[in-house]
Amino acid sequence: MDAKQRNEAYNNYVKAKIPKTRPWPTLFYSFLVGGIICCLGQGINDLILLWFPNMAQQTAWGYTLIILIFLASFLTGIGVYDKIGKFAGGGSIVPITGFSNSITSPALEFKHEGIIYGLCVKMFTIAGPVIVSGVVASVLVGIIYLFI
């Protein structure tokens, strides 16, 4: 059996073993969970503006996002967020809570490799590309706006 044949056989084997996920329930759950997280954010934002009526809307959003990031990080720490993620899929990845989860989760997982080379380095496995691509794109947009 040459390499090509072997790879094909292996791919078929993997395809047979991967659990079949039905798309419709995951679409529904991602919609539901994503909507709930956004409503939670809106609720926190409204409460902040209720308690501090003089705060600027932009500042209130900042606090809202920080609270959501805190909650997601904590829920990741106690292992709840990953359970939500198992059935919610995109609903738990796309909100800012998913960004927080993607930083905390590898930090926890690679802690045993040390604080510097484990925790601090692996924190950026997903956050790194996200921040780098976002910053590069925003600098380009800024430079374009300089000329128009």
- Least separation in angstroms between residue 32's CB and another protein is 7
- Least separation in angstroms between residue 93's CB and another protein is 5
Q: Are 52 and 77 in contact (CB under 8 A)?
A: no
Going by the DSSP 8-state scheme, the letter that residue 19 receives in this structure is P
Q: Are 109 and 82 in contact (CB under 8 A)?
A: no
Q: Among residues 1 and 78, whose Cβ is nearest to another protein? A: 78
Q: Among residues 1 and 143, whose Cβ is nearest to another protein? A: 143
Distance of CA 25 to the CA centre of its chain: 20
- Least separation in angstroms between residue 130's CB and another protein is 5
Q: Among residues 5 and 34, whose Cβ is nearest to another protein? A: 34
